[in-house]
A and B are shown apart, each in its own frame.
Chain A
């Protein structure tokens, strides 16, 4: 079996975002780029599954739609342990465009399990995984917090309100994964970093497809009104404020 993890290249989550070009474009000066946190957890789980020979995973690959500037992030995924990488050489216009490009990669390089993080920390769209499955005409499971393989079958936990469902679904499928899928992201060891240098990144050109959406304007959140402080010896005052001023309890 082969697993593909789709990865997004995003600003480090502690970045103080700023915009340029009339608030239409992210100011990338000084931005640290990282693997989207959910994708990193997905990759970690894929590698954990490969570690156990009983699961019969021969290969873990990653795929990314982006320009050559994203290669350090792709190399990081290879250093963590992915065997090879695919990069579609294009600016990521929108989720629909990205999913369409990824589906082209998968049509020529089939995988049994495709993992996508539930959202990217930049556009928070929760879109690419579901779109990709529809482009491929295969099934998908979202809100996945655990994947195990038993006798070649996938056992999947899907989070629902107040609990979870334990499901199975035939391959190939797309799993859209979230918290719980892996405990901590795997960190690249020196050996992995050395080996990543020689692992292949297969670059392809994008197919011609229009995006369906575009960001026309960014804005920063309005600052909250200054915090009103209450005497720690008299929390009753807080309750009165919540009741009479905020009118919320």
Chain B
């Protein structure tokens, strides 16, 4: 028995997300009286792999194979399922992100293992196995019982704190064979921005809505974000109007984020917008309308014109950072 964690690296480095998963899996393994195993695919240096041990992995399976450079869902899920069976895994933990969402459902069918998708905390019960997750886009939560022997969980980002355990993880370099013809997904081009804080990774997000009035007013918002080391975001009307790029749209049909701090500036807070940001730990709202629904979701609020308030806010942050 063991708990297997699928980790992802970006150019050989793990993100905080992978450490959250290991921390989660290690706690879960304790509840199940077993140990956690991390799976790493791709070229990662030993010192980086050892970091997985710091958050509790007992064993790290490292696989390097050029045919795994591209994410082919069929090849990856077959590989992970094979490892899970060999290691007699009872729970597989993945992130509830693009890659986790691509693989977890396939693993569920392949292993006939019930899927708890987007869970936000440790299981509320082990026998029967019951997980807790957001449903109705954040308008409710549900306890879901997983009836199968093997379970698959995807963990909502930023919902579980890092726990340092310092296990002496054994690194096992494992050879796998993937036939050239097996990889059917063919990559033609990659377009990637670098040097920008990614919205889904950011701990602080500064987001603007229609209350920003015109696309030319974004200067102070961007300045505020850079002072705070934050990512910028926007509401749907703003991305639909083309004031800001589509990648910045947060909300039900856009990106769903859960930063520690979310600034909603000139955003009224329609249900669809809140669906994307309601898991933020602290929400600050600036809006002219004191009855705007965003203030019901917000922890802190300023009733005022975003255009007038923002420069003062930027000055206050500069003063803080200057200290």
Contacts and interface: CB of A to CB of B under 8 A. Distances in A.
B316 A163 contact: no
B117 A249 contact: no
B109 A125 contact: no
23 contacts: A13-B137, A14-B272, A17-B140, A38-B253, A124-B118, A125-B117, A130-B73, A130-B102, A134-B108, A140-B73, A165-B187, A212-B112, A217-B142, A218-B135, A218-B143, A220-B141, A227-B295, A228-B300, A230-B302, A232-B305, A235-B313, A248-B260, A249-B204
A162 B194 contact: yes
| Interface core residue of A122, A126, A140 (most chain B CB under 10 Å) | A126
Contacts of A230: 300-302
B108 A96 contact: yes
Contacts of B72: 139
A142 B301 contact: no
Contact of B312 (A123, A170, A214, A235): A235
Contacts of B260: 248
B137 A121 contact: yes
A202 interface: no
Given A13-B271, A164-B191, A224-B296, 12 more contacts: A96-B109, A126-B96, A127-B115, A129-B105, A133-B106, A166-B190, A169-B184, A179-B249, A219-B142, A232-B309, A235-B316, A248-B261
B112 A143 contact: no
A159 B279 CA distance: 22
A160 B285 CA distance: 29
Interface stretch (A59-67, A77-85, A236-244): A236-244
Interface residues of B, number: 94
B116 to A, nearest CB: 7
B105 to A, nearest CB: 3
B177 interface: no
Interface string A1-36: 000000000010111110100000000000000000
Given A130-B73, A248-B281, A228 B301 contact: yes
Contacts of A221: 138-141, 278
A165 B108 contact: no
Nearest to B288: A232
Given A122-B135, A122-B136, A161-B10, A239 B313 contact: yes
B267 to A, nearest CB: 14
Contact of B109 (A131, A168, A224, A227): A131
A77 to B, nearest CB: 18
Contacts of A15: 136, 139
Interface in B124-153: 130, 133-148
A178 to B, nearest CB: 8
Interface residues of A, number: 86
B252 A37 contact: yes
Interface stretch (B41-49, B163-171, B195-203): B195-203
A108 B288 CA distance: 57
B303 A232 contact: yes
Contacts of A131: 105-106, 108-109, 115
Interface string A184-202: 0000000000000000000
Given A99-B109, A161-B198, A246-B282, A130 B144 contact: no
